[in-house]
Amino acid sequence: MTDALWYLGRGSGVVSLVLLSIVVALGIGARSGRTAFGLPRFAVNMLHRNAALLAVALLVVHVVSLWFDPYAQLRFFDLVVPFAGEYRPFWLGLGTLAFDLVLALIATSLLRHRLGVRGWRLVHWLAYLCWPISLLHGWQTGTDAASWWLRSVLVLSTALVLAAVAWRFTPSFARFPARVPRRVRTPQEVR
């Protein structure tokens, strides 16, 4: 059972980070107002939201499985208070900080109708802070931190987000692109 929890904790953490990278890239792409990957804007927004929900679900699996794993020896305190753990306190603390930021994002998203769009958007910017913190946590924490496959996943995730950020600062990125005027057909043209 211990090995299963350990593998579940590692695997869910890696997949959650990959999904978080995709979420950040899609979030940047959604702000452009253009279609991406041949999908309409609403589909990009739905993909962004669903990938975020799956990333959060896997993050919860990551945290809970490592909490119950006797090898990891995490205390509940380590899961909610950053930099308080005994094993690599700084790097584990980054993971805890990222988890706390995700909890703040979830809470404000659930209370979005009470906060208003401006307040929600202000807190939602924490997602951009959450990604590099999670990346550093994955880069330095755990038994696979120095393995070639994890380093490859982290480099590819970084490349994806950096490509989205680079595109964000190009002149072709328009925050509010011009809309194509619609032409209403007359009843004679319909026939």
pLDDT, tens digit, 9 for 90 and up, residues 120-153: 888 888 778 899 999 999 998 877 878 899 999 9
Q: What is the mean pLDDT of residues 61-72?
A: 88
Burial class for 40, CB neighbours closer than 10 Å (0-12, 13-18, 19+): exposed
pLDDT at 177: 53
pLDDT at 109: 84
Give the alpha-carbon dihedral of 87, 104, 16, 8, to 10 degrees. Answer: 50
Scanning the chain, the segments in alpha helix (DSSP H) are: 2-32, 41-68, 76-80, 89-110, 112-124, 126-140, 148-168, 187-190
The CA distance from 162 to 158, in Å, is: 6
pLDDT at 136: 93
Residue 59 has pLDDT above 60, yes or no: yes
DSSP 125: T
- Over residues 140-186, the pLDDT tens digits come to 887 787 889 999 999 999 999 999 888 888 776 665 555 556 667 77
Other CB atoms within a 10 A radius of the CB of residue 124 amount to 17
Q: Categorize the per-residue pLDDT at 60 as very low, low, confident or very high, splitting at 50, 70 and 90.
A: very high
Residue 43 has pLDDT above 90, yes or no: no
Q: What is the mean pLDDT of residues 64-87?
A: 86
End-to-end Cα, the chain, rounded Å: 69
